[in-house]
Amino acid sequence: MQVDNSKNQGAFIELLSLLREKSSVFCYKSDSKARGFATMLAQEIQKEDNLPVIRICWNENEQENHNFPSDTCSFYIFRNYTTSLIQIQKKISRKKYLIVVSDISKLEEGQNSRPYLRFLSILLRKSEEYGSTMITTIDSDSQTPLIRSELIPHFNNYYLIENGKLIIDNKEIPNLKYSIRDDRLYLEPVLQDDLNKIKEIFSLTAEEKKELDKIVGQSFDEYRTSL
């Protein structure tokens, strides 16, 4: 992977600085190359900072490290939440890591995403505590009220990717158009006029709030019954 940032080096450097030692989620809408874009940004940070890499996978077939160094540590998360968190914490407590989490949209395929969301919220807290960098993606159409209320707020940064454009909620840095051609990433600043779209994507409708209240109420009743 190569990044052609010669014309817009300042914006590119600023974008990477926003991601370093922070947790970031890229929410994409109608953009088939969004995950590749996020992966390229993660690769660039790894290369520039020479960071060891941890990958979090929701599928056993995702564990091969095609895009990262051969010594990357991959964790396939399936009911081994506590064990995995202990192992990951041992690593990130010793040195800073780049933590790349597989697309969160895939959690919707499971019957019960709550334990995974709990795992991720703890991982986010630990990543921030030890100054690691964490990057993931999510399809805006796959966001459940639970994900929007219990997971997304734990990220330091969230960005919207739509139609080849990265919308950045930061007045100091312009939004960026991007394209990927021949395994090369091209960036170009655009006017910052779509910040309201970010708020739209991550806000709950009145019906979704009712649904979430119902889920929380059911969970409380189950807990009370178990006492």
Over residues 96-120, the mean pLDDT reads 86
- CA–CA dist 73, 64 (Å, integer): 10
Q: Please determine, for residue 212, whether its predicted confidence score (pLDDT) is greater than 80.
A: no
Q: Which has the closest alpha carbon to 173: 196, 160, 148, 191?
A: 191
Q: Which residue has the tokens 């703890």?
A: 122
Over residues 175-197, the mean pLDDT reads 73
Q: Is the dihedral of CA 182, 51, 49, 24 positive or negative?
A: positive
Q: Which has the closest alpha carbon to 130: 74, 89, 179?
A: 89
Residue 200: φ, ψ to 5°:
-60, -45
- CA–CA dist 40, 21 (Å, integer): 17
Q: Please determine, for residue 196, whether its predicted confidence score (pLDDT) is greater than 70.
A: no
Which residues lie closer than 8 Å to 221 by C-beta, 6 or more apart? Answer: none
157-178 pLDDT, tens digit per residue, is 989 998 888 988 776 677 888 8
Average pLDDT, the chain: 82
Over residues 92-116, the mean pLDDT reads 86
Task: Say what the pLDDT of residue 1 is.
Answer: 47
- CA–CA dist 191, 226 (Å, integer): 54
Task: Say what the pLDDT of residue 210 is.
Answer: 67
Residue 143: φ, ψ to 5°:
-75, 125
Task: Say what the pLDDT of residue 178 is.
Answer: 86
Residue 185, token pair as written in the block: 């990433």
Q: Band of the pLDDT at 61, cuts 50, 70, 90?
A: confident
CATH number reported for the structural domain that contains residue 177 in this entry: 3.40.50.300
Of residues 74 and 29, more confidently modeled: 74
Task: Say what the pLDDT of residue 223 is.
Answer: 39
pTM score, whole prediction: 0.80
In which domain, by residue range, is 87 found? 2-226
119-149 pLDDT, tens digit per residue, is 999 999 999 999 999 999 999 887 788 888 8
> What domain count does the chain have?
1
Q: Please determine, for residue 93, whether its predicted confidence score (pLDDT) is greater than 70.
A: yes
Task: Say what the pLDDT of residue 226 is.
Answer: 43
Q: Which residue has the tokens 């009145």?
A: 206
